[in-house]
Amino acid sequence: MRRSKDPLSFAAPPRVRDGVLDDAYLEQIVSAMGIAREQVVAHQWVDNGPGWP
């Protein structure tokens, strides 16, 4: 273990997927959440985890 005066930090693993969601998938999400598409200000994938079957 290294000690220093700097605050703790970590590096996230590289992303598996990034970029905007496709329209069909975004529609599924807003429908499941019970909100209108217009209420989504911005969206994107941020996936850096394992793929579970």
Q: Is the whole-model pTM more than 0.85?
A: no
Residue 51 has pLDDT above 80, yes or no: no
Angle at alpha carbon of residue 51, lines to 47 and 52, rounded to 5°: 130
**Dihedral angle of Cα 38, 42, 46, 52, to the nearest 10 degrees:** 0
pLDDT for 5: 78
Mean pLDDT of 32-38: 96
